[in-house]
Structure formats: structure tokens, C-alpha cells
Structure 1
Amino acid sequence: MLLEIRELSSCINDKVIVNKVNLSVDRGEIHVIMGPNGSGKSTLLSTIMGLPHIRVCNGRILFDGLDITDKPSYERAKLGIALAHQYPPEIKGVKFSDIAKAIISKYGCGDCSLMARILRVDELLDRDLFVGFSGGEKKRSELYLVMLQSPKLALLDEPDSGVDVESIEYIANAIEYLRSRGTAVILVTHTGMITNKLSRINRIHIMINGTIKYNGYPDEVLPVIMKFGYSRGLEVLNRTFKGGI
């Protein structure tokens, strides 16, 4: 198993945000974490990445056989974990192409041009990073930088929020490309828009109030959540499928 999360709780300023989460993700799998805003989804990704403002207050994170619970984010990046942020910051005076070249010089890249075409970022490379980019351009550019790192595990924080229909298509194609290369993907969404564009999702996890309340297959989870929403949908799922898998 590539990633194993065991009874993980994480805190921000001593407040528990993620509470006793268990999750296993293997190579080439796509896992979607859904839930309402403020349910702890983004904090879970940040905890896996090891961002410094978050403290693990219980549980363990195992990655590729190693316990990385106490490792800093830069060591996790070296091991093959990459995070695409929900709100990448604008960086004036730094060219998108310069950042891309720096990543390529470190990791190498045989398919850089193909990745750029998949995400339609060629015309953005000469601009300052994320400066004046539309929502879709930001998400596509951030994902491109993740892809250049050839990660074993890609953490994608709401790649379908605030983007146009075309961008969702491009982002879905990029996720399919990552999967074809054996990259595991954990994708956070609260709208679920991108799920209809992916050919296969291994599991969907419903997260509410910091806890994963339901694990299931897409064909059972998505229709219910889209029809009833999260609170009522969770009741229907538990009644129909007896707690999921």
C-alpha cells in the first residue's frame, strides 16, 4: 500500500480539525474526498503534506513503507508527495516558465510538452506566476507544476472549484494521465463536478466535521449525494448500503 493513514487527528492552534481518519491508497488509484465546506478536507491534505501550521495530535501516516508522521514537508516532497493548493498565490516578478524550468532541472521530464498541451498552459508560461490568471488558469497551472514533479502521490485541493467547463475537462484529462503513470491521486471536492469527467474512481469518502463518515463506490455514492446533499444523503447511504465498504 502506498499511503496508509491510521487514526489520524490533526490540530490547528490546539483545535482538532481532522479527527481519527483512516485511509489507504495504493499506486494508480484515485480517491475522492467529498464534503461540505469547513469539513476538514483541505486540512487533511495539508496534514498529509506536512505543512507546518498543522500539528498531528494523534495517529500515524505511512508512505511507501516509511512512517512520515513527523517528517517536514520538504522531506515528504522528496519522497514523492505533491500538493496542488486550492488558492495558489500570485507571485509578481517570477515567470511561470522559470519555476517550471527549475522543477524540470531537478526531476527531469520526458513529457513536459505533452503535459502542457493536456492542460493548455503553453500560452501562460511567459507570464508572472498566477498573476492575473483566471480561476481555471490558476488551477491548470498549479496542476502542471505538480505533474512536472512526477509524484507518487498527488494531492489535489478542489481543482474543480471556480473554474470553467473547459478547464474541468483539461484537469480531468491530466488526472487520467497521472493515473496512467502509476500516480495515486487524492482529490478533494465539495461540488463533485469533476467526478463525472473521470473514467474510474476507486473510492469516494464522505467527510463531515473532520471525520470520514462513509466510504463507498462512485456508482452508489454520487447519485445519492447529488440528489439529497450531504446530511440527508449520508442517512440514505447508511440505510441503503449499511455503512459502505
Structure 2
Amino acid sequence: MIRINNLTVEIEEKTILKNLDLHIPEGELHVLMGPNGSGKTSLLMTIVGYPQYKITSGTISMQGHDLLQLDMTQRARLGIGMAEQRPPSISGVTLEMLLDYQLNRHPGKRDEIVGLTRNIGMESFLKRSINEGLSGGEIKRSEILLLMSMQPLFAMLDEPDSGVDIESLETVASMLTTLFSPEDEFPAKRRTGLMITHSDRLLEKIHADKVHIMLDGRIICSGNPEIIMNKIADSGFESCRRCTGK
């Protein structure tokens, strides 16, 4: 689904991603972990196509399409969707407007999304401007709901578990389980994804196929989620620095 080779990226003339390689097969959910400032969010922003992120070398492709030749809108229409860690408030644009726009493109999913909106307690926010006056947990639910209504082929999430309480975490986990659940018509197939998280709370509830550790703009380790999570919980990312030093 996603193939990134030898990617180097700058922002304001500072190199933030360095010769990075990442391959995500179709139907797999991969997780990015690493200390703050290691480049995780920058990688997602680069894949989405934020113009501030200048690619100085390397390639990014999705199902054979060269993403570097496409702007943000074209990448979204190709099937790339993202739930941001800190999405903006948009005065005058309501949650209902954006959901209607997406569901007009995916009419077969309207009943499912309408039911989900009710189940997660977001009906009362439909007429309100996007994210205005919402708590951290409500913003996360709104952002993931919009991502789900988009029906992306490749879904990215930047710390969907940050700033939420235990009750909201259960709701977020349930939504993500639905987002990455197998298709009814093809039980062995599910949506492809890339998710950033700092904790194992979410991974205890959602099946991930692989975890990647980022340090200093590079992916330095990839492997079994349970094994890597146990090591990080025991020794932190300092153990990763020692490992790369050897």
C-alpha cells in the first residue's frame, strides 16, 4: 500500500527525516513510537503532503502512485486520510456539514456513520462549529468520526489516545476497532493504517501488525508489537539508543 524509500525531509532548512525507509503492506496496521521530537508527526505530515515539509531526496508511493507528484487534495482523493493530534477549530463549519459532504461521496455508509454518531454521543455536536468548545475526548471522537466517514484506503492517526480520559479511551478504541475491522465481503481484508502512540493502552485493545521505533528522524527498529512494547515499558527509549550505539 505504502512504500517509502530513502526519504529525507527538511522544514525551515532543518533536516527532520533522514534516509527513512518504510513499507506497509495492504491490510496491515503499523504503529510508530519514539520520544518527542523524533520525527513521527513529521512523517505523517509529509505523507499527507503539507507544503512546509520539503523533500530533498527519496520517494513515497501508494499503490504504485508517485505521491510526490500530487498535492494534498489529490492525495486525499487517492484515499489518504488522517486524524490529527491537535486538529483546528473551524468557525462557521459544522460537524454535520463535513459529514454530509463525505457521506454524499459514500452514500452506502450513511446509516453506519449516523448510527455511530449516535452511539458515541456526538449527535448534540452536529450543529456546532468544528471542535469549538469541545473537550479533548470529544475532539478525538469528532476527528476519528470524520476520518471514518471519509472511508480512506490508508488511514493515519496521530496519538488518538492523547488527552483523553479512561471512558473516552474506551470509545476511541472501539471506533478504531471498527475502522480497522475486516470487510464483510472479504473477511481476510481490512483497512491499511499507520498510527502514532506513546503507550500500550491502545495496543492492548487493537491488533497491530508491526511497531516501528523512530529516533532522530530515522526508523531504527521494527518488529513484533508485544515484544517491542514490553521492552519499551521496561527500559524506555534509552535502551533503543544503547542498541543503535552497538
TM score, norm. by length of structure 1 = 0.90
Match of 1:35 in 2: 34
CA deviation after TM superposition for structure 1 residue 92, in Å? 2.1
Moved more, 46-55 or 119-128: 119-128
CA deviation after TM superposition for structure 1 residue 201, in Å? 0.9
CA contact (8 A) 1:119 1:171 kept: no
Gaps of 5+ in 1: none
Aligned length: 237
Query: Moved runs in structure 1, 4+ residues, more than 3 A?
Result: 117-120, 233-236
For the residue of structure 1 that corresponds to 2:213, the secondary structure is strand
Q: 2: CA distance between counterparts of 1:58 and 1:115?
A: 42
For the residue of structure 1 that corresponds to 2:26, the secondary structure is coil
Q: 2: CA distance between counterparts of 1:81 and 1:144?
A: 15
Q: 2: CA distance between counterparts of 1:82 and 1:88?
A: 13
For the residue of structure 2 that corresponds to 1:21, the secondary structure is strand
Letter in 1 for 2:160: P
Gaps of 5+ in 2: 184-189
CA contact (8 A) 1:49 1:81 kept: yes
Match of 2:210 in 1: 203
Match of 1:127 in 2: 128
- Aligned positions of 1:125-204 closer than 5 A: 125-180=126-181, 181=183, 182-198=190-206, 200-204=207-211
Equivalent of residue 226 in structure 1, options 217, 224, 233: 233
- Does residue 69 (structure 1) correspond to residue 68 (structure 2)? The answer is yes
CA contact (8 A) 1:104 1:148 kept: yes
Letter in 2 for 1:231: E
Match of 1:101 in 2: 100
Deviations 1:75-120 (A, max 9, x none): 1101000111111111222221112112212333422124325644
Q: 2: CA distance between counterparts of 1:23 and 1:114?
A: 36
Letter in 2 for 1:90: S
CA deviation after TM superposition for structure 1 residue 196, in Å? 1.8
Letter in 2 for 1:132: G
Q: 2: CA distance between counterparts of 1:118 and 1:40?
A: 35
For the residue of structure 1 that corresponds to 2:202, the secondary structure is helix
CA contact (8 A) 1:207 1:214 kept: yes
Q: 2: CA distance between counterparts of 1:108 and 1:74?
A: 21
Would the alpha carbon gap of residues 226 and 119 (structure 1) be closer, same or farther in structure 2, given more than 3 Å must change? Answer: farther
CA deviation after TM superposition for structure 1 residue 55, in Å? 1.2
CA contact (8 A) 1:30 1:185 kept: yes
Q: 2: CA distance between counterparts of 1:71 and 1:192?
A: 35
Q: 2: CA distance between counterparts of 1:31 and 1:172?
A: 15
For the residue of structure 1 that corresponds to 2:180, the secondary structure is helix
Match of 2:186 in 1: none
Q: 1: CA distance between counterparts of 2:101 and 2:42?
A: 28
For the residue of structure 1 that corresponds to 2:155, the secondary structure is strand
For the residue of structure 2 that corresponds to 1:5, the secondary structure is strand
Moved more, 103-112 or 2-11: 103-112
Q: 1: CA distance between counterparts of 2:236 and 2:84?
A: 25
Q: 2: CA distance between counterparts of 1:43 and 1:231?
A: 21
* C-alpha RMSD of matched pairs (Å): 1.9
Q: 2: CA distance between counterparts of 1:232 and 1:17?
A: 22
CA deviation after TM superposition for structure 1 residue 22, in Å? 1.0
